[in-house]
Amino acid sequence: SHENPLKAAVDKLTEPFRENGPAEGVPGVPSSGPVTVEEPTEPHGPLPPKPDQTGPETVSPTGQPTGADQARVAQSGAYLTTAQGTRLYDTDHSLKAGPRGPVLLQDHHLREKIMHFDHERIPERVVHARGAGAHGVFQSYGTAAGVTKAAFLAADAETPVFVRFSTVLGSRGSADTVRDTRGFATKFYTEEGVFDLVGNNIPVFFIQDAIKFPDVIHAGKPHPDREIPQAQSAHDTFWDFVSLHTEAQHHAMWNMSDRGIPRSYRTMEGFGVHTFRLVNAEGATTLVKFHWKPKLGVHSQVWEEAQITGGVDPDFHRRDLADAIESGAYPQWELGIQTFPDTPEQTFEGIDLLDATKIVPEELAPVRPIGLLTLNRNPSNFFAETEQVAFHVGHLVPGIDVTDDPLLAGRLFSYLDTQITRLAGPNFNQIPINRPHAPVNDMLRDGFHQQAVHTGVAPYKPNSLDGGCPFFAGADTGAFVEVPVELPAARKVREAPASFSDHFSQARLFWLSMTPVEREHIVAAYTFELGKCYEQAVKERQLLALANIDPELCAQVAAGLGLPAPEATQPLADVRPSPALSQVGGEWPADGRIIGIVTDGTADADGVRALRRAVLDAGMVPLVVAPAGGKLGDGADAITVQRTFATARSVEFDALVLAGTPVPGADAQGARDAKAGEPGQGGAAVDPRLAMLVSEAFRHAKAIGGWAGAETVLAAASVPAGAPGVILADSGEAVLSGLTPLLAKHRVWDRFPAAL
Ligand code: HDE
């Protein structure tokens, strides 16, 4: 074999990444104790290709390596070549008749390079265009083995997965933190074929029948004349549709709640939404709803924070997911199921299980954990993996079947169909990220982008020429056999069942299940969104829907809009709240929380160093913020400044610690008397950017701490003395131990109500 100097150089560069593979024990799962979660600060070389990411030419669609040159895939070959493998001596100059002369048409390299570039983009997804993905592993607890024969849900089964999170309405380049539903799609590469769980972070949907999907999406997407607003529901057409089509009210309420603005993908629940049918080894069936429960709890931004984040870091969620994985703080979710008897009515406690606008409260049907998802590997190429991954609700494995939910029925058509345009043909299953890990032996042939060189002469059944191969499996040899569900005698109709006409009871249930602060956020969200509408009739009609959900909610939103609150047109539903729907009141691990340590570097450098260490040891992320970049101190002990007053904004931090106040000589009273930016009586000024950082963090109900004169900055930021969630102590470690229990609750809820 020939020496390849460039490949050797790349190998050297990527060595640390190859050596720091997954921790011992269960693949990809940290073995024990808090992990060290340093923010990555240095750029690094390309990651080596992963087994399922090898180029199309190296692995046949049936999984057989063909032995082609691996180096080309990783761009680490010695010589630049054309797409045909011819070596090049220059790629910076077109072929010209003299240095100042015209470019020659015969320049095949120029034409190939520009032609390929011209076609680099593919159509974005018609919905869920903006997203981020990660690889991981799903470990089954085996607790579902009694209700399903799916091999990946058997005891101790371990299955590779790829997950893609997304927003729904925005374009590929839109901001992560907009108010919207989030997609949560998981591809399980099981030994029995691919299973896709294509869910959302909201357990209900806007419509009960797929035939209305184009309507709700046309209403939510930007207006067709000016193509604004981008990635927003705060506009006339959305509320026009939702107020006329009141089955959308329940989902809209979830969007207006804190669920519409998640803190992170890592802090979202996921839901399969529809009811599915599980089948066990004996053929017995059970109806189920799937739930993903994040280990870190369900947490959101506050609305002002989400808006600021959209400007200062539109990639906030994408970055958060990638950084967490890169630093070893692997995000985890438990998969759980709610199970219901498979009765002919397909209802549970009066709730229609085929109506995707309804939940079954966890108090009525507890969520039983059945496995653990750990995301432990970032994609190494966004386009190849995250953009080209194709999910489909019809990718099922034996043991999991669909129900007659009419929303699901339309999806079973749509997810295949849409790939024909998006991925340009029927062979998208051969794209590396979509390849099953189970052996594929189909009789599908030819088509655009066919990668396989199929052998044999008889891609049809029955045949005798290929010896009758391949043969059929039976239920006992792993075949997917549809559940032979009995159907009642019926007429063909374009109608919905009577139960589908209840549009308000569960929106009311959700509203009544919220804590006061969550209700306050919901009122503010409706007031903002309807306040952005121009059409009076739309606002009035939506207020009428709110009146039918809850008069108090309606009155508060109406007051904000300056409109009269209408009377309900139907009796209010008598519902029992479901406390499980609230995000407030629990405590969760503070792992991966981001602690901003603000210093001027002249203050307590040892204290900053000790606090950084303590934050890392607690499995959280310290970010040192100083007036300017560079290092604090010298030598091996020097502390790297990670954010400056110019680059830091409060939204990035879960808590702030003021470590040695950058206001020498100022006393607290002096600063309180002074406006930020102007010298106080003590003669020193608090940098206005610092004052804004602290006042925003305070307004967003984040924990704040400090020592050695932090009062001065707090006063300049108008933080009232003795306010809840402000920890002053005499060392960074003492501050941190006061902050950690506050972080476990996500926010200092006592600070609300606030004007948000
Ligand atoms: Fe989707 N949806 N959807 N959807 N959906 C798509 O498929 C569709 C619905 C969801 O990360 C599209 O490959 C119809 C519910 C996610 O790649 C498309 C209906 C739920 C993703 C499509 C629904 C979802 C999609 C666009 C009404 C939650 C992103 C690109 C019946 C349970 C997947 C694509 C990814 C994407 C159709 C409703 C979740 C057009 C017709 C309900 C997470 O096929």
pLDDT at 616: 94
CA-nearest residue, atom 32 of ligand 1: 199
Q: Using 50, 70 and 90 to split pLDDT, how confident is the model at 626?
A: very high
Report the alpha-carbon distance of residue 259 to residue 263 in Å, rounded: 9
Whether the per-residue pLDDT at 394 is higher than 70: the answer is yes
Ligand 1 nearest-atom number relative to CA 183 = 43
The single residue of 93, 116, 119, 128 carrying the catalytic annotation is: 128
The single residue of 200, 376, 427, 434 carrying the catalytic annotation is: 200
Strands 639-640, 631-632: pairing is antiparallel
Sequence-distant (6+) residues with CB within 8 A of 662 are 598, 599, 600, 602, 603, 627, 686, 687, 690, 713
Whether the per-residue pLDDT at 340 is higher than 90: the answer is yes
The total of other beta-carbon atoms located within 10 Å of residue 603's CB is 21
Ligand 1 nearest-atom number relative to CA 413 = 41
Q: Using 50, 70 and 90 to split pLDDT, how confident is the model at 676?
A: very low
Whether the per-residue pLDDT at 669 is higher than 50: the answer is no
CA-nearest residue, atom 9 of ligand 1: 411
Q: What is the ipTM of this complex?
A: 0.98
Whether residues 291 and 383 fall in one domain: yes
Crossing angle between the packed helical segments 303-312 and 516-531, to the nearest 10 degrees: 60
pLDDT at 242: 98
pLDDT at 3: 54
CA-nearest residue, atom 16 of ligand 1: 183
Exposed/middle/buried for residue 654 (C-beta within 10 Å: 0-12, 13-18, 19+): buried
Whether residues 161 and 216 fall in one domain: yes
CA-nearest residue, atom 23 of ligand 1: 411
CA 248 to ligand 1 center in whole angstroms: 17
Whether the per-residue pLDDT at 672 is higher than 80: the answer is no
Partner residues linked to 656 by β-bridges = 596, 704
Decide if 669 is inside a domain.
yes
> Which one-letter amino acid corresponds to residue 550?
D
Decide if 540 is inside a domain.
no
Whether the per-residue pLDDT at 36 is higher than 70: the answer is no
Decide if 56 is inside a domain.
yes
Whether residues 85 and 135 fall in one domain: no
| Token reading at 414 | 């749509």
Coil/strand/helix, residue 349? coil
CA 415 to ligand 1 center in whole angstroms: 7
Decide if 260 is inside a domain.
yes
Whether the per-residue pLDDT at 167 is higher than 90: the answer is yes
Whether residues 226 and 373 fall in one domain: yes
The total of other beta-carbon atoms located within 10 Å of residue 695's CB is 18
Q: What is the residue-averaged pLDDT of the chain?
A: 89
Ligand 1 nearest-atom number relative to CA 274 = 32
Which of 26-30, 341-345, 469-473 has the least mean pLDDT? 26-30
Whether residues 34 and 148 fall in one domain: no
pLDDT at 74: 53
Which of 76-90, 128-142, 246-260, 578-592 has the least mean pLDDT? 76-90
Q: Which of 62, 92, 122 is the last residue of a domain?
A: 92
The structural domain count of the chain equals 3
Buried b (16+ CB within 10 A) or exposed e, 573-584: bebebbeebbbb
Whether residues 140 and 2 fall in one domain: no
Q: What is the pLDDT of residues 76-133, one digit of tens each?
A: 678 899 999 899 999 999 999 999 999 999 999 999 999 999 999 999 999 999 999 9
pLDDT at 520: 95
> E strand or H helix at 160, and its extent?
strand 158-167
Whether residues 306 and 425 fall in one domain: yes
Share of the chain above pLDDT 90, in %: 80
CA-nearest residue, atom 19 of ligand 1: 411
Task: Please choose from 201, 386, 391, 405 the residue to mutate so as to test ligand 1's pocket, defined by most ligand atoms within 8 A of CB.
Answer: 391
- Shortest CA distance to 474 belongs to which of 422, 398, 537? 398
Q: What would the mean pLDDT of 650-667 be, rounded to a whole number?
A: 76
Whether the per-residue pLDDT at 46 is higher than 50: the answer is no
Decide if 572 is inside a domain.
no
pLDDT at 485: 94
Which residue range forms the structural domain that includes residue 135?
Answer: 131-433
Give the binding-site residues of ligand 1, using a 6 Å CB cut-off: 125-128, 131, 164, 166, 183, 185, 198-200, 205, 210, 213, 273, 389-391, 407, 410-411, 414-415, 418
CA 196 to ligand 1 center in whole angstroms: 12
Task: Please choose from 128, 268, 269 the residue to mutate so as to test ligand 1's pocket, defined by most ligand atoms within 8 A of CB.
Answer: 128
| Token reading at 246 | 């009141």
Cβ–Cβ under 8 Å, residues 93 and 109: no
> Which one-letter amino acid corresponds to residue 450?
Q
Q: What would the mean pLDDT of 152-161 be, rounded to a whole number?
A: 97
Cβ–Cβ under 8 Å, residues 371 and 141: yes
Which of 2-6, 101-105, 383-387, 653-657 has the least mean pLDDT? 2-6
Decide if 194 is inside a domain.
yes
Q: What would the mean pLDDT of 48-52 be, rounded to a whole number?
A: 46
Q: What is the pLDDT of residues 511-556, one digit of tens each?
A: 999 999 999 999 999 999 999 999 999 999 999 999 999 999 999 9
Q: Using 50, 70 and 90 to split pLDDT, how confident is the model at 753?
A: low
> Cα 749–302–746 angle (5° rounding)?
45
Give the CATH number, domain containing residue 248.
Answer: 2.40.180.10
Q: What phi, psi does 268 have (nearest 5°)?
A: -115, 145
Whether residues 199 and 76 fall in one domain: no
Report the first-to-last Cα separation within the chain, whole angstroms.
66
pTM value?
0.90
Whether residues 224 and 277 fall in one domain: yes
Q: What would the mean pLDDT of 376-403 be, rounded to a whole number?
A: 97
Ligand 1 nearest-atom number relative to CA 166 = 11
**What single DSSP character describes residue 65?**
B
Residue 245 among the catalytic residues: no
Residue 429 among the catalytic residues: no
pLDDT at 37: 60
Report the alpha-carbon distance of residue 6 to residue 78 in Å, rounded: 5
- Shortest CA distance to 213 belongs to which of 408, 416, 403, 496? 408
Q: What is the pLDDT of residues 632-650, one digit of tens each?
A: 888 888 999 999 999 999 9
Partner residues linked to 504 by β-bridges = none
Which value, to the nearest 10 degrees, does the dihedral of the CA atoms of residues 129, 132, 133, 138 take? -100
Whether residues 399 and 260 fall in one domain: yes
Buried b (16+ CB within 10 A) or exposed e, 678-691: eebebebbbbebbb
Calculate Rg over the CA atoms of the chain: 29
Whether residues 46 and 187 fall in one domain: no
Sequence-distant (6+) residues with CB within 8 A of 470 are 441
Which of 79-88, 114-123, 310-319, 664-673 has the least mean pLDDT? 664-673
Longest pairwise C-alpha distance within the chain: 98
pLDDT at 76: 61
CA-nearest residue, atom 38 of ligand 1: 411
Cβ–Cβ under 8 Å, residues 205 and 407: yes
Whether residues 76 and 21 fall in one domain: yes
> Which one-letter amino acid corresponds to residue 137?
V
Give the CATH number, domain containing residue 711.
Answer: 3.40.50.880
Decide if 248 is inside a domain.
yes
CA 421 to ligand 1 center in whole angstroms: 15
| Token reading at 14 | 């990527």
Q: Which of 392, 408, 433 is the last residue of a domain?
A: 433
**What single DSSP character describes residue 149?**
-
Bigger pLDDT: 85 or 251?
Answer: 251
Which of 24-38, 577-591, 594-608 has the least mean pLDDT? 24-38
Q: Using 50, 70 and 90 to split pLDDT, how confident is the model at 12?
A: low
Ligand 1 nearest-atom number relative to CA 389 = 17
Which of 70-79, 362-371, 423-432, 695-704 has the least mean pLDDT? 70-79
Decide if 148 is inside a domain.
yes
Residue appearing with tokens 């974005």:
124
